[in-house]
Amino acid sequence: MSVRTTRTALVAATAVALSVALAAPALAAAPARTDHEATRKAIEAAVDAGVPGVTATAKDGRGAWSATAGVGNLKTGKPRSADDRYRVGSITKTFVATVLLQLEAEGRLSLDDKVEKWLPGLVRGNGHDGSRITVRQLLNHTSGIFNYTADEDFGRTYFLKDGFFEHRYDTQKPEELVAVAMTHKPDFEPGTSWNYSNTNYVLAGMVIEKATGRPYGDAIRERIIKPLHLTATSVPGTRVTVPGPSSRAYSKLAETATGPTYDVTKLNPSLASSAGEMISNSTDLNRFYSALLRGQLLPREQLAEMTTTVPVDETTGYGLGLMKAKLTCGVTVWGHGGGIHGSQSEGVTTEDGRHSLALNFNGDWSGDAVAVIEAEFCGNVPGTRHRADPGVPFAPSRIG
């Protein structure tokens, strides 16, 4: 397969991580459980499948529970920690959408504003037209704007071995990322379909900056991180390291899931910008998603807008930076997945915010995060799920 064909297929799996293999008919609801043994087996299965290490934390009415499997450092054999900080990739999108909805609640912008109003002249070229695209369409991926990480040259430069090691410390400005997307035609007319595009959230971050007059990361820190006391969560900007405690991150930096394994922990996350640059840990992600669904961050009207979804498949919908997925046992979870070099993460919670799970794989080519989610919320032991589609491996070094 070509770089483009493989990348397109794999990024789709990462971007819609919650939806992979959830199209099977719903089974009877699982009985209440008194332990997390199925979840433990699921993270161990991920390590058996090739993931270097996994960290996961769940929180429910009985309190918090954490488990790890595998290693956080392939050279030293050091295990992963329940307190590990890691790059969360597109989980960043939920934070960005939350800030924009807060700004709407304050009357500082409208989701129906055209992108052109806030970013004049930026979304233009090859059929793109910011005067026909709303902020809402950015947030729910119905804008039709091309995904800049699907660009062939960008992929070779930042996601495959030779390019990555030459350019891993490059700084990318948001305008430059959008410009890459503008060299392509739109995927569809605004509002007529759905397609996951990181460009949407680069633009969303820029709208926050225009509306507040400050970097979008400042808004996330002041409006979400500080009020919720998310002590492990940060917006790194151009900082290339992950604060401790943390593990190493590993990738194949290739189109396949075979071959050498490379340490990709250090990189300049500006290539992900407001589409996926943030760092957090499992405890913070559980607190964030629980608070969000419980209405602690948004007024009722804005939370209703956020949870109004467009269909992705039979069991999955995408709201405003928030995904909804119906699991095989009938339980519905809300959250987002995130992938970036050497890191695959999930953060999900029930609609009432009472049962949450966050996890991270420190490798990007193997493992089944959906199996861990199914294990936690349905009690399914790995290998017992009836999957409608075996899916594809997690995208190597993708932002999704």
Please report the beta strands in the chain, taking only residues with DSSP state E, as ranges in sequence order.
53-60, 63-70, 85-87, 124-125, 128-129, 250-251, 262-263, 279-281, 310-311, 316-318, 323-326, 332-340, 343-350, 356-361
On whether the CB atoms of residues 388 and 359 are closer than 8 A, the answer is no
Q: What are phi and psi of 344, to 5 degrees?
A: -125, 125
* Complete DSSP assignment for 103-132: HHHTTS--TTSBHHHHSTTTSEETTEEGGG
Q: Which residues contact 251 (CB under 8 A, 6 or more apart)?
A: 261, 262, 264, 341, 342, 363, 364, 365, 396, 397
Structure-token pair, residue 275: 């589409």
- The answer to whether the beta carbons of residues 250 and 362 sit under 8 Å apart is yes
Q: Of 273, 212, 269, 213, whose CA–CA distance to 242 is shortest?
A: 269
Report how far residue 241's alpha carbon sits from residue 150's, in angstroms, rounded to the nearest whole number.
25
Residue whose entry in the numeric block shows the structure tokens 């590993």: 250
Of 90, 251, 273, 397, which is the active-site residue?
Answer: 90
Taking each continuous run of H as one helix and of E as one strand, the counts in the chain are: 14, 14
Tokens (6 digits) for 287? 């607190």
Peptide bond into 245 cis (omega under 30): yes
CB 251 within 8 A of CB 14: no
Residue type, 226: K
Helix ranges, 159-266 (H): 161-167, 174-182, 198-212, 216-220, 226-228
Q: How far apart are CA 313 and CA 332, in angstroms?
A: 14
What CA–CA distance (Å, rounded) separates 196 from 144?
Answer: 9
Q: Is 90 in the active site?
A: yes
Q: Which token pair is 337?
A: 């997945």
Tokens of 187: 């995927």
Q: Which residues are catalytic?
A: 90
